[in-house]
Structure 1
Amino acid sequence: MNENKMKNVTLFALTWPIFIEILLHMLMGNADTLMLSQYSDNAVAAVGVSNQILSVVIVMFGFVAQGAAILIAQNLGAENNPTAGKIAVMSISLNLIFSLILSLALFIFAKQILNVMDLPIELMGEASSYMQIVGGLIFVQALIMTTGAILRSYGHTKDTMMVTIGMNIVNVIGNFFVIFGPFGFPVLGVVGVAYSTAISRFIGFIVLVLLLVKRSEGELDFRSFFRYQKHHVKSLLRIGIPSAGEQLSYNASQMVITYFVAQLGTIAITTKVYTQNIMMFIFLFSIAIGQGTQILIGHMIGAGKIEDAYARAIKSLRISILISLVMASVIYVATQPLLGIFTHNATIIEQGTFLLLMTVALEPGRAFNLVMISSLRAAGDVKFPVYIGIIVMWGVGITFAWFFAIYLGLGLVGIWISFIADEWIRGTLMLRRWKKRYWVDMNFIDKRQNV
């Protein structure tokens, strides 16, 4: 898809399929949680902690996918389609090699990693089994991320949405059989859910590859799977590593916070899992708007439309803040029925209700980060979000979490205080960076490779 095809594409046209895709990804995780909650609360906690660790690994795959998405969008905006095709194929190859190494490490060292999290002993067996199966096959998720990012950069956001729908259907059907054991099927619990997740991802990847080949219209250079061009690799890593670095720092800080929560007991872990599963339905709007904005700004920057790119980010931010505030308020009003879907434990419902009230203050701050960081990345300003992220997440987020939750004994309320402070401070700094327009003076686009 060249610039002539993209210039009339609206944010809404790009964003609504991304929104549905992210929603379905979240529903897949919620389906695991909801269905496992009928099996046992301990199973939910075990899978929740394991997924917290796996989310950090998945972010590490993002440095290739993020770099590829931005470079492809910029080259398409500059109508340099052959280069875009080379970068697309090369990024799949790079992430396959990298993810296979991490998959092997997760399979071999699953118990050792979980021990670092100070996991309650009653959760260790199920958590380690889940980690070995899903973690050992996590390379498939890396390939899904990369192929999906490529398709979205070409403007084919509906394709990735439809594949995600199919993955969800397969996953839920698989969960039903392994948790409830219909027709005499053996009840496999957490292990069965792990296999269901892995199988649905593998099927999704195969379909994405077929769609990528079909949509590329001969623009993909498959020789690039084995033959890397040094300047392409350097450009991808120059953008991709800092882009993923901010998210990696965030997820790593969340692991430390999960460590604090684990010290509060199984009830606290389970409450956090249920509450954050509900919160996902609030901030997915900002994620979708951020990703759609990144695609548009990448094309605008590639075409030299600096003022259009600036205005696009500010408009997207306003939309995202408004939607986040409205959705957080609606979710809070419906808190008890929503938590009641997952559990009947009165303590969990009471704590979760107050946390979702605090979320009304949290989510508009998160909108700043999700939209403005995506905009800065697309414009080539990829290092600033990492530096600020590391300083604020660890200097404020982690410090506040320990001080309020552990030292002052506020428990999960203290954790949410740290979330609010972290998101608002970082978000304000990201907006200031965008308005200062340092990214305009960065000659990344003008000095792009002569290819």
Structure 2
Amino acid sequence: MKFLFSDKKFLNTMLKLAAPIMLQNLIFSSLNLVDGVMIGQLGESAVAAVGIANQIFFLVSLLFFGIGSGSAIFAAQYWGRKDTERIQSVLGLSLLMSISGAVLFSLVAILLPVQVISIYSKDPTVISQGSVYLQIVAFSYVVTAITNSFAFVLRSTENVKLPLLTSVVALSLNTLMNYGLVLGNFGLPALGVKGAAIATIISRLIEVVLLLQIIYRRKLPVAAKLPDLLN
């Protein structure tokens, strides 16, 4: 342990890899929290509704984190051997598991939003607003599954800056769109809770499109074709 902390080269390498990952994870968690902050101006019921709905996303994110962490371990080992084919196979399995889980959570949230929110609250107003938010934001789960799968494996190939960049863009867009769609600024309609959910979906979509566009344009190690993902 003493050797590790006295090795400046090791410390510099660790910081270059760890700092962006920690920041990106913080931003990932903060994106949905922005909804709660903006909704705070609409009253206690709206805050409670969004907070409860985001507890479902917390469960989804735990699933993504578990799958992503496992895939990252295998991908890092294959990256050490420069075995791109195996890395892409790991990515394919991660995508399959994450998307499957996301679809399951999405279906429950979309088809049974009232029942889900009712587990946490019996307040009719909270249930009504929470159901509206959950039913819309659930469409972002699959998109987030794709983003996370690529991000975890990408970081295993020592590319930690790209996932951070796309997360910063997503957080910035979500904040601006929340300000517009929740409160009715920038000439946009004030949609309240519904606006927060729409802002989240749009920012998540832009995040994954930007991430994939850069990955495939630069032909990074995770730029796999469909047959490679299914291998």
Contact 1:89 1:221 in 2 (8 A): no
CA distance in 2 between counterparts of 1:153 and 1:35 reads 35
Q: 1:83 aligns with which of 86, 90, 114?
A: 86
Q: Please give the per-residue CA displacement for 1:220-274, whole angstroms capped at 9, x wherever unaligned.
A: 353133x34xxxxxxxxxxxxxxxxxxxxxxxxxxxxxxxxxxxxxxxxxxxxxx
Per the TM alignment, residue 164 of structure 1 is displaced from its structure 2 partner at its CA by 0.7
Q: Please give the per-residue CA displacement for 1:47-74, whole angstroms capped at 9, x wherever unaligned.
A: 1111112211232234432221111012
2:3 aligns to what? none
1:13 aligns to what? 16
Amino acid at match of 1:142: A
Unaligned runs of 5+ in 1: 1-6, 229-451
1:78-157 → structure 2 map (5 Å cutoff): 78-157=81-160
1:250-265 → structure 2 map (5 Å cutoff): none
CA distance in 1 between counterparts of 2:46 and 2:140 reads 20
Amino acid at match of 1:108: L
1:222 aligns to what? 226
CA distance in 2 between counterparts of 1:165 and 1:151 reads 17
Per the TM alignment, residue 8 of structure 1 is displaced from its structure 2 partner at its CA by 9.3
CA distance in 1 between counterparts of 2:85 and 2:185 reads 51
Matched, 1:174 2:197: no
- What percentage of aligned pairs have identical amino acids? 26
CA distance in 1 between counterparts of 2:86 and 2:93 reads 11
Contact 2:154 2:222 in 1 (8 A): no
Q: 1:96 to 1:26 in 2, by over 3 A?
A: closer
Count of matched residue positions in the alignment of Structure 1 and Structure 2? 221
Contact 1:86 1:222 in 2 (8 A): no
Structure 1 residue matching 2:165: 3-state secondary structure: helix
Q: 1:158 to 1:119 in 2, by over 3 A?
A: farther
Per the TM alignment, residue 18 of structure 1 is displaced from its structure 2 partner at its CA by 1.7
Amino acid at match of 1:51: N
Per the TM alignment, residue 112 of structure 1 is displaced from its structure 2 partner at its CA by 1.0
Q: 1:205 to 1:218 in 2, by over 3 A?
A: closer
CA distance in 2 between counterparts of 1:48 and 1:210 reads 32
CA distance in 1 between counterparts of 2:88 and 2:110 reads 33
Amino acid at match of 1:216: L
CA distance in 2 between counterparts of 1:115 and 1:218 reads 41
2:214 aligns to what? 211
Matched, 1:158 2:158: no
Contact 1:103 1:136 in 2 (8 A): yes
Q: 1:145 to 1:27 in 2, by over 3 A?
A: same
Q: Please give the per-residue CA displacement for 1:283-320, whole angstroms capped at 9, x wherever unaligned.
A: xxxxxxxxxxxxxxxxxxxxxxxxxxxxxxxxxxxxxx
CA distance in 2 between counterparts of 1:219 and 1:115 reads 42
Per the TM alignment, residue 183 of structure 1 is displaced from its structure 2 partner at its CA by 5.0
Unaligned runs of 5+ in 2: 1-9
Amino acid at match of 2:148: M
Amino acid at match of 2:13: T
Amino acid at match of 1:122: T
CA distance in 2 between counterparts of 1:221 and 1:8 reads 36
2:190 aligns to what? 187
CA distance in 2 between counterparts of 1:220 and 1:134 reads 28
Contact 1:90 1:224 in 2 (8 A): no
Amino acid at match of 2:142: F
Contact 1:36 1:190 in 2 (8 A): yes
Amino acid at match of 2:154: L
Contact 2:89 2:228 in 1 (8 A): yes
Structure 1 residue matching 2:42: 3-state secondary structure: coil
Q: 1:34 aligns with which of 34, 37, 52?
A: 37
Q: Give the TM-score normalised by structure 2.
A: 0.84
Q: Which has the larger radius of gyration?
A: 1
1:197 aligns to what? 200
Q: Give the TM-score normalised by structure 1.
A: 0.45
Contact 2:31 2:174 in 1 (8 A): yes
1:439 aligns to what? none
Give the alignment's Cα RMSD to 1 decimal. Answer: 2.4
Contact 2:67 2:98 in 1 (8 A): yes
Amino acid at match of 2:184: G
Contact 1:106 1:136 in 2 (8 A): no
